[in-house]
Amino acid sequence: MGRVLAPYGVKGWIKVQPFTASPESLAGYDHWWFSEGGDWAESDIAEVAVHGSDVVARPAGCTDRDQAVKYRGREVAIPREAFPEAGKDEFYWADLVGLEVVNMQGEVLGEVAGLLSSGVQDILRVSEGTRSGKDERLIPIVEAVVKKVDLKTGRIEVDWGKDW
């Protein structure tokens, strides 16, 4: 759902970059999970506010800047069962990661390694495999390019050349 950027102020607040379409969606949850050395720990959120395109929050028990510094760089998550159901032709980014990407000619382009938001549109980061060490391909998520997303089969069909 997001990543902690830095402490915010001196009273235990943290600044979070949300990975959601609207910062308000992250601000609407009162329990967050924070990554911590490969594990996850749940925390109540005592206070939260939207601050431009970011979210500022104060985890329960975090009362000063020194405590807030410990959150820097941690990922923020919400349990999947707390998500609202996605609408028709809408997908959560987490559901797309790992899907195979195939072009209209049936050529496998790789799998979704992650997503980016350019502000104008979202972008698939497609890798031919992390073990191969090959470069990633960036494919815009627009109707003219992404033709079909099938979560059941684990495939995304795109109108994109293998040599692009």
Residue ranges, CATH 2.40.30.60, the chain: 2-82
Decide which of 116 and 32 is more confident.
32
* Residues 67, 58: Cα–Cα separation, whole Å: 10
- The answer, yes or no, to whether residue 2 has pLDDT greater than 70, is yes
What is the CATH architecture of 2-82? Beta Barrel (2.40)
CB burial string 1-33: b at 16+ within 10 A, e below? bbebbebbeeebbbbbebbbeebebbbebeebb
> What is the sign of the dihedral through the CA atoms of 46, 56, 25 and 115?
negative
- The answer, yes or no, to whether residue 91 has pLDDT greater than 70, is yes
pTM over 0.75: no
- The answer, yes or no, to whether residue 157 has pLDDT greater than 60, is yes
- The answer, yes or no, to whether residue 140 has pLDDT greater than 90, is yes
* Residues 111, 129: Cα–Cα separation, whole Å: 7
- Of residues 72, 41, 47, the one with CA closest to residue 59: 47
How many angstroms separate the first and last alpha carbons of the chain? Answer: 31
Residue ranges, CATH 2.30.30.240, the chain: 93-158
What percent of the chain lies above the pLDDT cut of 90?
A: 63
- Of residues 40, 45, 36, 41, the one with CA closest to residue 13: 45
Decide which of 74 and 36 is more confident.
74
Q: Which fold has domain 93-158?
A: SH3 type barrels. (2.30.30)
Q: What is the token pair recorded at 18?
A: 């949300």
